[in-house]
Chains A and B, each alone.
Chain A
Amino acid sequence: MAEVNMEQLLNCALCPNMCRCDCPVLQALGREKVAPAGKARFAAMYKQNHLELDSEVIEAIANCLGCRGCTVRCPFPELNLCDELLFARTPDKEGRQGHLASWEPYLANLKKYSSPYGQKSFAGGRADRGADILYFNGCTALANHPQSLAAVEKLFQKAGVSYQLINEDCCGYPAETWGDPELARSLAAENYRKFVESGAKILVTSCPECWLVFTERYSGWGFGLPLEIMAAPSYFLGLVNDGLLKPSAIGQRTLSYHDPCIWARSAKITQEPRQLLKSIPGVNIKEPLAAGEQTHCCGGGRMFQLSFPKTAEAIARRRLAEFPSGAAIVTACPFCREGLSQDNQTVLDLLELLAESCTK
């Protein structure tokens, strides 16, 4: 895990930070050390034995949301800076790298509860054994917005689709984020076993970070998934398009959709959530500044709400300022929902809204 592509890392270290305006961490903190190329310079100098890492440098390098905002203007299509920086948080044999002490409690939670939140994520629930669809909610939504699962279940039931739920373990993304690849793998192994045992054909998830790790990491960790992985907004749009879900009006509403960065930039899912919103009669959409693939992170990427809560909050405030007045914010990611809920701001969940409109 966390192999480094030195050529790409150096391309970045030698760049004058052409993406600095798109990096939410840099813009919120205003510190040169967290500039994209700044982080790459630390990492490259360390890799070439010109710099030793200590917790201050590791913290600077770890100040990356994994939001891929830097890819919008980056001239190197092969470069994925956030992944190239991951190695620094993972201890090597000599113990020269590693996670920050402040992350320890979350790693301990993951080991004890298979969730970073100090509670077991989810104990089974309704499951139609043998159903083709397996729904994975993810531990963040389960911890912070438990009602989201009920909404999804209503949608499945309304559409007459059988679905399975499993006793979820954390997907592994947080463990990777906090520099424990072994733990990430062991969590992935458990999920893999349960996915395979379920016999399901399609894995639907509403959590972008779970989606990312299922699609981009599991096979590299030795758990190539024998299921199709679908993002929940795309899956439920399919049900609407097939006429299985029939949204009805929930009043005149002006909504502004916040694109979660992984859905927008990694999964390229930007139209589906908007089409879902438009399928609800009476909904009018007003775009925020930085929409679609140009979206700005809410501050919740790579577990910032736990790892760097103050920074996460500062980034969320900047993002909130980009929304049009008079529109309610709606999103499709548990981290965005949590992050943008600052100062009594209500943030709606796409699927909960759909469930409301389909079950009226």
Chain B
Amino acid sequence: MRNLPQTVIQESLVEPQVIEAFARDAQAIVGADQISVNPADLLANSRDYWPVNNIWMIEGALPALPQLVAWPGSADEVSALLRLADKLKIPVTPYGEGSGALGGAIPLKGGISLDLKRMNRLLEIDEESLLATVESGLNGALYEESLNRAGYTGGHIPQSLSCSSVGGWLACRAAGQFSTRYGKIEDIAVSLQAVLPDGTIFSGRSVPRAATGPRLDHLFIGSEGIFGVITSATLRIWPLPEKRHLASYTFADLKGALECVRLIMRSGARPAVVRLYDAQETGNHFPELGDQRCVLILLIEGAEKIVAAEAEVIKELALAAGAIDSGPDHVEHWLEKRFNISVASMLFQKGAVLDTIEVSTNWHNAHNTYLAMQNALLAVEGTILASGHYSHVYPDGAGLYMTTVGFPGANKLKFYKEIWQAAMEACLAQGTAISHHHGIGLHRGLWMREEHGSGMEVLEKVKKALDPEGIMNPGKLGLGEVGLWQK
């Protein structure tokens, strides 16, 4: 193809003859039609949903291109491909469905984009032990729909359900909207199969608990492709709930509402969905409630009697905290609108820069983190909105999800970097974890050392042991020389 768009953060490329050598041998592994150097394929696998990619796309640029895309069909094929790439020292970036929000799937150093989409089978449903074994490239909505048809749910419903893969969930330590009852993906996953750069196929065992040394499966959950490629997993499933109860309450202030939510968790009630919005988001998402109060959305599901008891306990606690019962309709509204992200595309077109920044906080910091992040974001010149909601709630704390929008004029990237710097500094100062579920990818690598301290050395040592040539997703998770892309 003539005139490929310019790449903005390509750190390096592999010598073309090395790629050619890989292609020759890879054909024998996966078949000639399962690898491509066709520019249309390279362009398509050049990006994910890191908002910067949208800014660049409007300007006519791309982050970085792979030099070859490969579509393996089995763990054995992944193993052979990785061994070959390792021998030739070619970078490999796993690619699920490209919905990652932090640039994780961008092939920063060229090489191979290893696309898992062909590995998309639901292999087994074990109805007795409530487990499903699934290949990592399966689309989330197709997975959930297959389970639903059999009378089950996977309990993992992220907003990106329809545009993300099971492997992507595991790689990013994702969270679904129903995580208070069903857990995040690290709670849902029982075991997984992953392939290391030297071709070793690790297969975890799907037993409920075991005192057989460290559970190595967990090494790969959240590893974002830097240790190897997740090829399949066994996940917990649940029978479709017998009963669903919807409830909402409004509170005069966020702090009081948060305290009530903490007490709900402490009571032992486990609604599936617990979402607490600040006053501004209450007004934006539920205009009929106005923008002076904070709404708490609850969805409780499971066996009818348990649901009724939980609903009662929650109601008592909410009313005791001075909340107003605002009924089920707002939850219906949320259920209807929860996948609609049209406003993002429209704002990008209008020249806005926007992002969502999710962090994980214990209860004692939950409100302060919100205030600190909001203040920090609003202090950046160009910001017009910094609002938040607690999107996932646990007995020990909550996931806080901040949304920020700005109209910075010409230098969008500069503004983007500033809002992130401000938000991450505020978050770290509170002792809050820098991500709750989007993960680290490329961008958040900048703050990984502050997040982990000496823990980063351990991560580096594990990386060195599993991937001595450093071929797996280089430049991600804060390893290597971070921030080159910023220059």
Q: Does A120 contact B (CB under 8 A)?
A: no
A33 touches B60 (CB 8 A): no
Q: Does A60 contact B (CB under 8 A)?
A: yes
**Chain A residues in 8 Å Cβ range of B341:** 15-16, 18, 75
Whole-angstrom distance between the alpha carbons of A140 and B260 in the complex?
65
Closest to A59 in B: B40
B60 touches A75 (CB 8 A): no
Q: Does A228 contact B (CB under 8 A)?
A: no
Closest to A76 in B: B342
Number of interface residues of B (CB under 8 A): 47
Which of A10, A19, A33, A52 makes the CB contact (< 8 A) with B162? Answer: A19
B41 touches A33 (CB 8 A): yes
Which of B2, B137, B340 makes the CB contact (< 8 A) with A52? Answer: B2
A16 touches B99 (CB 8 A): yes
Q: Does B39 contact A (CB under 8 A)?
A: yes
1/0 contact trace for B77-88 toward A, CB 8 Å?
Answer: 000000000000
Closest to A38 in B: B44
B3 touches A17 (CB 8 A): no
Known contacts A11-B349, A33-B43, A56-B39; A17 and B344 CB within 8 A of each other: no
Whole-angstrom distance between the alpha carbons of A48 and B56 in the complex?
13
Q: Does B160 contact A (CB under 8 A)?
A: yes
Place the interface of chain A in its size category.
Answer: 35 or more
Q: Does A54 contact B (CB under 8 A)?
A: yes
Whole-angstrom distance between the alpha carbons of A14 and B347 in the complex?
10
**Chain B residues in 8 Å Cβ range of A326:** none
Segment at the A interface, from B112-120, B174-182, B277-285? B112-120
B97 touches A14 (CB 8 A): no
Q: Does A51 contact B (CB under 8 A)?
A: yes
A32 touches B60 (CB 8 A): no
Whole-angstrom distance between the alpha carbons of A32 and B3 in the complex?
20
B33-67 CB contacts (< 8 Å) to partner A: 38-41, 43-45, 49, 54, 57-58, 60-61
Distance between A63 CB and nearest chain B CB, rounded to angstroms: 10
A7 touches B139 (CB 8 A): no
A36-58 CB contacts (< 8 Å) to partner B: 38, 41-42, 44-45, 48-52, 54, 56-57
Closest to A39 in B: B44
A14 touches B43 (CB 8 A): no
Q: Does A13 contact B (CB under 8 A)?
A: yes
Q: Does A21 contact B (CB under 8 A)?
A: yes
Q: Does A73 contact B (CB under 8 A)?
A: yes
Q: Does A289 contact B (CB under 8 A)?
A: yes
Known contacts A20-B162, A21-B142, A32-B98; A60 and B346 CB within 8 A of each other: no
B162 touches A14 (CB 8 A): no
Which of A19, A32, A56 makes the CB contact (< 8 A) with B95? Answer: A32
Q: Does A251 contact B (CB under 8 A)?
A: no
Q: Does A35 contact B (CB under 8 A)?
A: yes
B342 touches A75 (CB 8 A): yes
Distance between B117 CB and nearest chain A CB, rounded to angstroms: 4
A14 touches B40 (CB 8 A): no
B95 touches A10 (CB 8 A): no
**Chain B residues in 8 Å Cβ range of A16:** 49, 98-99, 160, 163, 341
Distance between B443 CB and nearest chain A CB, rounded to angstroms: 16
Known contacts A16-B163, A18-B163, A51-B3; A45 and B345 CB within 8 A of each other: no
A31 touches B60 (CB 8 A): no
Name B's interface SS: mixed
Known contacts A31-B41, A54-B2; A17 and B97 CB within 8 A of each other: yes
B5 touches A30 (CB 8 A): no
Known contacts A13-B57, A17-B163, A20-B163; A33 and B40 CB within 8 A of each other: yes
B159-189 CB contacts (< 8 Å) to partner A: 160, 162-163
Closest to A17 in B: B163
**Chain B residues in 8 Å Cβ range of A41:** 43, 57
Which of B44, B61, B141, B142 makes the CB contact (< 8 A) with A35? Answer: B44
Distance between A273 CB and nearest chain B CB, rounded to angstroms: 23
A57 touches B1 (CB 8 A): yes
Which of B99, B141, B149, B344 makes the CB contact (< 8 A) with A14? Answer: B344
Whole-angstrom distance between the alpha carbons of A11 and B162 in the complex?
17
A57 touches B57 (CB 8 A): no
Closest to B59 in A: A50
**Chain B residues in 8 Å Cβ range of A51:** 3-5, 43, 60
Whole-angstrom distance between the alpha carbons of A35 and B49 in the complex?
14
Distance between B15 CB and nearest chain A CB, rounded to angstroms: 24
**Chain B residues in 8 Å Cβ range of A33:** 38, 40-41, 43-44
A42 touches B43 (CB 8 A): yes
Pairs A–B under 8 Å by Cβ, sample size 9:
A14-B57, A19-B162, A20-B162, A30-B71, A30-B115, A33-B41, A51-B3, A54-B39, A75-B341
Which positions in B face A, CB cutoff 8 Å?
1-5, 38-41, 43-45, 49, 54, 57-58, 60-61, 69, 71, 95, 97-99, 115, 117-118, 120, 137, 139-142, 145, 149, 160, 162-163, 339-342, 344-346, 348-349
Add 14 more A-B contacts to A27-B139, A56-B39 (CB < 8 A): A10-B349, A14-B344, A18-B339, A22-B162, A27-B142, A30-B71, A30-B115, A31-B41, A45-B60, A50-B60, A51-B4, A51-B43, A56-B40, A73-B162
